[in-house]
Chains A and B, each alone.
Chain A
Amino acid sequence: MEQIRNDIVDYLKANSFMDNNSSLNDNDSLTQKGIIDSIGLLELMDYICEKYSIEIPEDLLTPENFDSLQGITNMITKLAK
């Protein structure tokens, strides 16, 4: 799980509006902190699907699964099993 979390942080640092020097807590809201917007969210989904070779079912496309590092990491862990 730690590896997945680090992958996502690296992705966000390289591809989102996240400041390279700022820290991100596991439950911080990515949208409320202005790190990703609706397009950034689609790009993140594409990255996750490709990186972990998974398909994300429609019913998992919820704010709870995508708006925080914790939610994203949990979802990938579940789907990549």
Chain B
Amino acid sequence: MQITEEMSMNILEELNGNIGSIALKLRDFIRDQVTSFKKKGVVIGVSGGIDSAVVLTLCVQELGKENVHGLLLPEEESAPSSKILGAVICESLGVSYEEVPISPILRSLNIYDKKERIIKRACPEYDARIHKTSLVLPDFLNQGLLNVPYIRLIKNGETVGKYRLKATDYLELIGLQGVKQRSRMLVQYMYAETMNYAVCGTTNKTELVLGQFVKYGDGGVDLEPLADCYKTQVYALGKYLDVNEEIMRRPPSADTWSHYTTDEEFYWRMPIQIMDQLLYAQEHRLPLQVIEKSTGLSSETIEKTQRHINRIRDTTEYVRATPSVCYINR
């Protein structure tokens, strides 16, 4: 790119460009991967969110609806809208789908009881009969606070308490919560192997770079068509593919807490358009002036936020790593 061209670029426009050719490229990728694995189709966990809706649509367009199987995998704390919207997208595309609740797996491991005990320990006023809960991090962009997790208690839609988690409680909660995505992974493989299908993942590039997925959970799949598309690009793909409006408008969430907790509240800590512009700028080594002009942020905030992103990238290296091998003949 020429320097003058670079200086006048708008990052969001770049992210929203060439969507038609990206969609075609993703379809080719899906076809090539499934063929190379000698599989007959794909199984997809359908969450009612934008990522799985886009992947499902691309797979149906490329492989045909008869070669795609959707799985709705709700549990006790899932938002009711998740499986409703999941069913809506499967039906609109004419793909076969099943609902397989994972709550029995979670109950057999006492996940809910253990989670309750941690929340009660961290938040003395917690009463499961009246409070919903969520795990949140403080806003980064405006306050610049550290990655310190809090449990929030919600009563009748209002936050009534917020408690900092101790490291031991946080680690235990993350381990328990990860069982949800890992249970979904094993159900997906049970179906995929029965049908001689591959498991198609839905992780996007924003999530990949930030380590915003569970290793061997939603990260445990055979192909990841969206892993080089930032979330903003996934929205553009959703619009291009005419994905259901309600799914497009729904705030993204891992949907693992009784109170619907958005990815902005726990992962990004800033609006996704800002996060994606900063990630894109880092990837393409864009000059500070271009980022300032595109995001409207001050140079000081940009530098501070990029250091924050670098820290996340470094600390999540383990999540992205494949198992290390000791090669004995090298």
List residues of A whose CB falls within 8 A of some B CB.
31, 37-39, 41-43, 45-46, 58-59, 61-63, 66
Contact = CB atoms under 8 A, between A and B. Distances in A.
Interface string B105-141: 0000000000000000000000000000000001000
Contacts of B146: 41, 61-63, 66
Contacts of A41: 146-148
10 closest A-B pairs (Cβ-Cβ)? A42-B167, A43-B167, A37-B315, A61-B146, A38-B147, A61-B148, A61-B145, A46-B166, A38-B315, A46-B167
**Main SS of chain A's interface residues?**
helix
Contact of B171 (A31, A39, A66): A39
A39 B165 CA distance: 11
Interface of B: 138, 143-149, 164-168, 170-171, 311, 314-315
B170 A42 contact: yes
A66 B170 CA distance: 19
Contacts of B315: 37-38
B144 A31 contact: no
Contacts of A39: 167, 170-171
B170 A58 contact: no
A22 B146 CA distance: 26
Contacts of B144: 62-63
Contacts of B138: 58, 61
**Main SS of chain B's interface residues?**
loop
A45 B148 contact: yes
A38 B137 CA distance: 12
Nearest to A56: B164
10 contacts: A37-B314, A38-B311, A38-B315, A41-B147, A42-B167, A43-B167, A46-B167, A58-B145, A58-B164, A59-B145
A67 B244 CA distance: 45
Contacts of B147: 38, 41
Contacts of A42: 148-149, 165-167, 170
A18 to B, nearest CB: 16
Contact of B145 (A31, A43, A62): A62
B138 to A, nearest CB: 6
B145 to A, nearest CB: 5
Among B165, B171, B315, max chain A CB count under 10 A is at B315
Nearest to B165: A42
A58 B144 CA distance: 11
A45 B149 CA distance: 12
B141 to A, nearest CB: 14
B65 to A, nearest CB: 43
Contacts of B314: 37
B164 to A, nearest CB: 8
